[in-house]
């Protein structure tokens, strides 16, 4: 590829794996696309030519349309436990342009989401709506700036064709950037559909790509499993500490790299209720806020099952190793969650009773239907009266306990506030506002609110800003809010 034009530097090492793991795709889209959102900051990190990518030729490249620079792409095979049920899947609406290698040697997958049908599309058209792709762009960038590992979005391009769902929608393509798209479901697929040697090759490839420090280690597969467990425990603890609900934690949406992926039926919790579910298809609450840590363990158990032959030649010993590793997940998750939540109330040096203190606050928040983000934000700002329940004897007593705990560790309230400002966002993507921004953009071509939110969400921990009320308020009874997967 002519790097002087796009800046892309593709080196597709994934194609060295068993051919069952992917399908080659000829680039033959014939869209007449227009750029709607472009991520200049991410383009600079990747070393891309921003000017070129916003030209007619660059835009065609980013939609997988026929052009001089790109002739082939590929899609990945994978399986997945969807709501607990195993099935073979694959990239049903995604095309991999390739693995872009930056000047510093960092490798990123560049994937087009919604680009059209693939061998894995089954009865689907492989396309996506403009609204759903704008949602992924907005929320994934918000999650990134909240310091949570995530895939990111380089661009959203309108295809200028209509996509039929319940009604007709504007079609669009998202250009997604990830450390890789290797999933727990990728391991499940290879384990079920490949010879042992080919499965082992995938595991070795993944270790080399994401955990290269383990390549020459003894018991590297055991340590690999522990690494993945650790990064998933850390990731989900961060989700919980920020009130983020993923919505569809199937094993095909769990990246081995530890990044958040797939922003369909996701949302941020408003009123604190552990049972909150936003996904329209999650009728049983499998992926409710309170269940996310447990589902994390369940998904990792599916990964561990595939690794049994590599953990030990003795199957009983291998199972024991896997079970012990999964036990460690619970310990690590609790540790990460407690650390994150303690920092939200200004405590750096944790004591055993701090968990009780945190859970007491969460119980009050649930009983009084307090907003998750605003409760911690107003505690940070010391605007206790604005919580609107300051007459609550439970809350008054809790604040006394909290202040006493700070005094005990020789931290005055101002020091605690400094800590809290780094861990309690002043702004999040409010659900009602997200919907308004997406409707304005996708239905009326009005991107003012979308762009305003996108800019503000780049500095979520900035307490120097006085936000308009609409950016910090929420609609009551937000549990009625429903999101959709976008397919």
**466: confidence class by pLDDT, cuts 50, 70, 90:** confident
pLDDT value of residue 32: 87
Residue 268 and residue 373: Cα distance in Å, rounded? 9
Q: Which of 26, 204, 213, 252 is catalytic?
A: 252
Please write the tens of the pLDDT for every residue from 82-115: 999 999 999 988 999 999 999 999 999 999 999 8
The closest alpha carbon to 127, from 138, 137, 117, 112, belongs to 117
DSSP states of 306-353 as a string? Answer: HHHHHH-SSHHHHHHHHHHHHHHHHHHHHHHHHHHHHHHTT--S--TT
Q: What is the mean pLDDT of residues 232-258?
A: 97
**Highest-pLDDT range among 166-175, 373-382, 391-400:** 373-382
Please report which helix (H) or strand (E) contains residue 40, including its range.
helix 40-46
Q: Is 109 an annotated catalytic residue? A: no
CA 41, chain centre distance (Å): 19
Residue 301 and residue 252: Cα distance in Å, rounded? 14
pLDDT value of residue 478: 57
Please write the tens of the pLDDT for every residue from 322-370: 999 999 999 999 999 999 999 999 999 999 899 999 999 999 999 999 9
Please write the tens of the pLDDT for every residue from 20-47: 999 998 877 788 899 999 999 999 999 9
Please list, residue by residue across 168-182, b when 16 or more beta carbons sit within 10 angstroms of its beta carbon and e when fewer do: ebbbbbbbbbbbbbb
């Amino acid at each position: 590829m002519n790097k002087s034009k796009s800046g892309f530097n593709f080196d597709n090492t994934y194609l060295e794996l068993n051919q069952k793991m992917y399908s080659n795709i000829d680039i033959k889209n014939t869209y007449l696309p227009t750029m709607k959102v472009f991520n200049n900051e991410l383009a600079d990190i990747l070393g891309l030519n921003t000017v070129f990518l916003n030209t007619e030729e660059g835009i065609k490249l980013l939609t997988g349309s026929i052009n001089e620079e790109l002739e082939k792409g590929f899609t990945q095979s994978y399986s997945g436990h969807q709501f607990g049920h195993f099935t073979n899947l694959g990239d049903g609406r995604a095309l991999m342009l390739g693995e872009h290698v930056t000047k510093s040697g960092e490798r990123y997958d560049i994937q087009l989401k919604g680009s059209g049908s693939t061998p894995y599309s089954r009865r689907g058209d492989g396309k996506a709506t403009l609204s759903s792709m704008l949602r992924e762009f907005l929320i994934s960038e918000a999650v990134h700036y909240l310091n949570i590992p995530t895939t990111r979005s380089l661009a959203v391009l309108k295809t200028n064709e209509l996509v039929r769902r319940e009604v007709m929608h504007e079609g669009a393509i998202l250009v997604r950037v990830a450390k890789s798209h290797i999933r727990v479901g990728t391991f499940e697929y290879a384990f079920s559909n490949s010879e042992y040697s080919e499965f082992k090759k995938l595991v070795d490839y993944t270790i080399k790509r994401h955990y290269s420090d383990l390549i020459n280690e003894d018991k590297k597969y055991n340590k690999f499993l522990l690494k993945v467990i650790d990064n998933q425990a850390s990731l989900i603890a961060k989700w919980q500490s920020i009130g983020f609900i993923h919505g569809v934690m199937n094993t095909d949406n769990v990246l081995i790299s530890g990044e958040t992926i797939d922003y369909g039926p996701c949302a941020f919790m408003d009123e604190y209720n552990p049972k909150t579910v936003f996904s329209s298809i999650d009728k049983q609450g499998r992926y409710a806020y309170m269940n996310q840590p447990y589902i994390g363990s369940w998904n990792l158990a599916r990964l561990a099952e595939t690794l049994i032959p590599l953990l030990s030649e003795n199957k009983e010993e291998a199972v024991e190793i896997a079970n012990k590793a999964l036990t460690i997940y619970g310990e690590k998750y609790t540790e990460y969650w407690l650390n994150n939540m303690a920092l939200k109330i200004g405590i750096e040096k944790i004591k055993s009773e701090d968990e009780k203190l945190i859970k007491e606050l969460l119980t009050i928040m649930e009983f009084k239907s307090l907003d998750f983000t605003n409760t911690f934000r107003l505690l940070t700002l010391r605007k206790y009266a604005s919580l609107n329940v300051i007459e609550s004897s439970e809350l008054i007593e809790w604040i006394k306990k909290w202040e006493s705990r700070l005094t005990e560790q020789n931290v005055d309230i101002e020091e605690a506030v400094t800590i809290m400002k780094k861990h309690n966002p002043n702004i999040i993507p409010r659900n009602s506002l997200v919907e308004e921004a997406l409707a304005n953009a996708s239905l009326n071509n009005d991107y003012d609110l979308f762009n305003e939110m996108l800019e503000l969400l780049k500095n979520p921990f900035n307490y120097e800003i006085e936000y308009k009320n609409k950016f910090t308020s929420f609609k009551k009874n937000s549990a009625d809010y429903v999101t959709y997967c976008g397919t």
